[in-house]
Structure 1
Amino acid sequence: MGISIARWRPHVSGQRVAHAPAGTETAGLPRIRFHDLHHIFATMAFQNGADAKTVSSMLGHYSAGFTLDTCAHVTTDAQLKAAQTMGNILSRAA
């Protein structure tokens, strides 16, 4: 499981864009804001089993709900895992 950086696009806002480190574009990496790393961290932490309270604390948020609502993004892998879990539950019930 992992986040696809190639398909991920940072949202557009009025925030200033930090300068990408030298060689970033040459390496084929997207230009992203430092704040976008915040969202990537949260999403990857949740994908790898970190609980909401811990991630929220690490990001300095006031509540786990805020972290879940604003920083965690649903990925295709997460959707597939949820569908497989429900499929397993329903097939056992039948």
Structure 2
Amino acid sequence: MAVLIKRYNLAHENARLPHARLHDLRHIHATTLLIAGTSVHVVAARLGHADPSITLRVYAHVIKSAEASAAETFAKAIGQ
């Protein structure tokens, strides 16, 4: 991973990538899916979690913000 980032940064001086671990990319992947509304069960399966409760514990903060967003969307839809 570090080699790929270094190679990219050498070729793109004006658009450098920060250091990232493979685990960071895994977290971004799961977070993006959850924010987009993907089912926790689907995300858990993609991450290889044996039980969706693991995913719920790790990403509780993401799920709570998505719930707040859903509530705002619903309120707008009913004219509140």
Number of residue-to-residue matches in the alignment: 73
How far, CA to CA, are the matches of 1:20 and 1:80 in structure 2? Answer: 39
Identity %: 36
Greater per-residue helix proportion: 2
Q: Between the two structures, name the one with larger relative contact order (CA 8 Å, sep ≥ 6).
A: 1
Flag the 1:56–1:83 CA change in 2: closer, same or farther, 3 A. same
Q: TM-score, normalised by structure 2?
A: 0.64
SS in 2 for 1:50: coil
Q: Displaced runs of 4+ in structure 1, greater than 3 A?
A: 77-80, 85-89
Contact 1:53 1:64 in 2 (8 A): yes
For the pair shown, the structure with the greater C-alpha radius of gyration is: 2
How far, CA to CA, are the matches of 1:73 and 1:39 in structure 2? Answer: 13
What residue number does 2:18 align with? 30
Q: Which runs of 5+ in 1 are unaligned?
A: 1-17
1:68 Cα deviation after fit: 2.4
1:72 Cα deviation after fit: 6.2
Contact 1:38 1:71 in 2 (8 A): no
What residue number does 1:19 align with? 2
Amino acid across the alignment from 1:19? A
